Structure 1
Amino acid sequence: MTDLQQQVIEAHGGLERFRRFSFLTARLHQFGILWDLKGKSDTLTHAHVRVNLRKEEVSHWPFYPTQNRSRFTPDEVTIETREGELVEKLSRPRASFDGFAMETHWSDPQLAYFAGYTMWTYLTSPFILAQPGVVAEEIAPWSEQGETWRRLRTTFPATIATHSREQTFYIGPDGLIRRHDYEVEIQGNNTAARYLLEPVTVEGITLPSKFRVYPRDPDNRPTAEPLIVGVDLSDYRFE
């Protein structure tokens, strides 16, 4: 593990503390152009998420206008009623996105797959950098917002479902993640820059209370418009 990997993990609370917990839940308010483009304008606008911190499993609920909930793993996604009855199932979910573009509509299980791996990546970062098979190297720093941010170019193994194999984390002078870049493979490899805002500390772990995701231009700068995804998070709870 590089010195910068260790620094960013420690700044967010440390791996030993993080590994005391098995699950993290939160309340979400989600917005941005993505949901309309996917034909899911209101489905997860107001939702809860529960992330398994030990393995890649995530649940979102409710899938408006129903009370249904999702169960995501990299290999299978299900939509179930509140009582646990199966509504839909999607096996080998990533293959179902072959040929999809930014404007291609999603089914509920496809939405659950995207939302599942996205929130697992986001809410386990930077501790995800200690996962087996994750390789990170420090690259040239980046200046933005009056600061110089150190950068970790990270390669994820195929066993982890996430936006893209290669992603970049930008770390501020305090060791907290400021920005996170990737390409969204399942919707035509569109480029994205995610900003992590207004950090809060829960059980000694530092988490952002807001995400904002914008496109990136060829010069690696985010564009002010459109806002692809905005997420406000509250009611964090570790178990």
Structure 2
Amino acid sequence: MPSSENAATRNGLDQLVVHNYPIWLLRFWHGMEPGAWLRILLQNRFRVHPTRFYVAFTVTAAGPLNAFFRLCQDWLYGRRIARTEIETPPVFIIGHWRSGTTFLHELLAQDDRFGYPTTYECFAPRHFLVSQWIMPRLLGFLLPRTRPMDNMDAAFHLPQEDEFALANMGAPTPYLHLVFPNQPPCYMELLDMEQVPPDVLERWKQGLLWFAKALTFSKRRPLILKSPPHTGRVQILSELFPGARFI
């Protein structure tokens, strides 16, 4: 039998490039609310690996700033967001991870008739209305130029998955597992929406609905939303947003 080295060379694996993610770059969790961050730490019993102490410290340090900006947004826009009506239901892009949904999202986002959640809006879902004029400029150098898993462009202004916004808002989502990936997965029932506890389902609904209202208030256009977990949520999304369309 051929050696594993020869097999790897034949399959092109000798040209495999590993994209490292420097520890000083931003994580999505730097935009997380302090309460949500504390809950995650408690649920995972503060099992932070020593190599990630810096990340945990900076996420914690960013908490008060996120809280301050949220108070400002709630004071300035809270009531108007709550009164916002989503007159035209969103368009949802569904599909499994690595199936091309990101490319399709970025392609459809070129249509000026629609709005979409940007990376910054998903990074700071509770205060983007008051902070997006300055924070992306200050933090832009802390983003990688490309995503580490597929080498696609990364920037605050590009379309992003709304599921990350739910995580940073403290709403239930399987993406919270990404914060502590060595721990057991969480909220997996939200992938197929079967046997979801009523309180968890209600928190998820309220989180997504609020974020959709905030985006609608900001953009004044129908939304194009994309997150692979939505693939198993077509029925519940159709109930939450009557008339929603799916691609």
**Shorter-chain TM-score range:** under 0.3
| TM-score (norm: length of structure 2) | 0.24
Whose helix proportion is higher, 1 or 2?
Answer: 2
Determine which structure has more spread, i.e. the larger CA radius of gyration: 2
| TM-score (norm: length of structure 1) | 0.25
Whose strand proportion is higher, 1 or 2?
Answer: 1
